[in-house]
Amino acid sequence: MSKPNDATTKDLIEADPAGWVTYLGHPVAPGVVRLVDADVSTVTAAADKVIRVDEPAPWLLHLELQANWDGELDRRLLQYNALLARRHMLPVASVVVLLRPEANATALTGVLPSRPPVGAGWEFRYDVVRVWERPAAEFLAGPVGLLPLAPIAEVREAELPGIVAAMKARLDSPPDSALAERLWTATYVLMGLRFEDAVGDKLLSGVMQMEQSTTYQAILRRGAAEGALEEARSMLLRLGTKKFGPPTPALAAAIEATSDKARLEALADDLLTATSWDEVLVAS
C-alpha cells in the first residue's frame, strides 16, 4: 500500500473504532472501546490498529487493512496476535481487511495450520474481509466510520454517483463537519485504489474542496515523511546486503524500528568503511 493510503486507513479506524467492532459482528457502544498502543517494534514493527473493548471480559481487536499482496500476511497476523496478547495479557481477535483484488491471495483462508513433527497440531484463526466482494449497501447502512469503503465495494463506476449521494445524505444528518471531512478525505484516497483520480475529483468536488482539506494535507505530509523513512531503510538494507550479506533478524528489526531518517542516512554512510553489519550499528 502506498504511504498516503496507509495513513488514510489508520485514520479511518481512528474515526470510528466502535463502528469497526460492530461491523465485524460484535455490536458495542462507543464508550466501551478505545484505541491502544499497537507498537510491537521491540520485535518487528507496529500493527495497523488495535482496539480495546472494555466489556466485563476485555479483549482486543487487531485490524490490518491491506491494499497490496503480501505473501507473509497470515504469518504476520499470527506474530502480531501473539505479541499483542503477551503485551496486554488479553485475548486478541485478528481481522485482515483486503481493500482491492490486488491484495488477494488464495492462501488467506482465515486459518493458518501448524503441523509440527513433534507435539499436537494446532491452528491460528483470523477473519478476512474482501471489500470488493461486499455489497456497497452493507457499508452505506452500517457504522458511519466505514462509509468510505462503499465506493470500493462491489460496485461499477456508473453506480458511484448514487453511492456518493447516499454517503452525503448520511453524513449531513446530523451534520458533523469534522467527521465528514475525515471521511470524505478517506473516500477520495481509497477511491484511488480502484478508479482514476479524475473520477474522484469529479464526484467529490461538490462535497468538499480537497485542496482546502486540512486532514488531506496532513495525510500527504505524513505519507511523504513515512515514504522518506522507508526509502532510507530500504537503501541501507540493500547496500549493506550487497556488502555483508543479509543482516540477522535482530539487526533487521533494529533497522526497521529506527524512525530517524538522519540516523539511517548516517548508517548508510558508515557502510563505506565498516567491515560487518555489527560494526555499522555499533559505530552509530
Q: Is the pTM of this model over 0.75?
A: no
What residue segments make up the domains of the chain, in order of their start? Answer: 3-212, 232-283
Q: Is the pLDDT of residue 4 over 60?
A: no
Q: pLDDT tens digit string along 145-196? A: 999 999 999 999 999 999 999 999 998 888 787 888 888 888 988 998 889 8
Closest to 142 (Cα-Cα) out of 182, 183, 181: 183
**Cβ-contact 252, 212 below 8 angstroms:** no
* Whole-number Cα distances in Å, 145 to 45, 56, 102, 104, 268: 26, 25, 24, 23, 42
* Whole-number Cα distances in Å, 195 to 105, 109, 201: 21, 27, 11
CA 194 to chain centre: 17
In the prediction, which pLDDT does 147 show? Answer: 95
Q: Is the pLDDT of residue 211 over 80?
A: no
Q: Tally Cβ neighbours within 10 Å of residue 164.
A: 20
Closest to 96 (Cα-Cα) out of 75, 65, 68: 65
Range with lowest mean pLDDT among 24-28, 101-105, 174-178, 227-231: 227-231
In the prediction, which pLDDT does 111 show? Answer: 95
In the prediction, which pLDDT does 45 show? Answer: 47
Q: Is the pLDDT of residue 1 over 50?
A: no
For residues 97 and 225, the model is more confident at: 97
For residues 176 and 91, the model is more confident at: 91
Q: pLDDT tens digit string along 174-183? A: 878 788 888 8
Cα(160)–Cα(59) distance, rounded to whole angstroms? 37
In this prediction, residue 42 has a pLDDT band, given cuts at 50, 70 and 90, of very low
Q: Is the pLDDT of residue 221 over 80?
A: no
Q: Is the pLDDT of residue 2 over 60?
A: no
* Whole-number Cα distances in Å, 154 to 101, 149, 203, 213, 216: 11, 10, 18, 28, 25
Cα(200)–Cα(191) distance, rounded to whole angstroms? 6
Residue that the C-alpha cell 460496485 belongs to: 155
Q: Is the pLDDT of residue 43 over 50?
A: no
In this prediction, residue 218 has a pLDDT band, given cuts at 50, 70 and 90, of low
In this prediction, residue 208 has a pLDDT band, given cuts at 50, 70 and 90, of low
Q: pLDDT tens digit string along 70-89? A: 888 999 899 999 999 998 99
For residues 151 and 267, the model is more confident at: 151
DSSP string across the chain:
--HHHHHHHHHHHHH-HHHHHHHTT----GGGEEEE--B-TTTS-B-SEEEEE-SSS-EEEEEEEESS--TTHHHHHHHHHHHHHHHHTS-EEEEEEE-SGGG--TT-SSEEEE--SSS--EEEE-EEEEGGGS-HHHHHSS-GGGGGGGGGSS--GGGHHHHHHHHHHHHBTTB-HHHHHHHHHHHHHHHTTTS-HHHHHHHHTTT--GGG-HHHHHHHHHHHHHHHHHHHHHHHHHHHHHHH-SPPHHHHHHHHH---HHHHHHHHHHTTT-SSHHHHHHH-
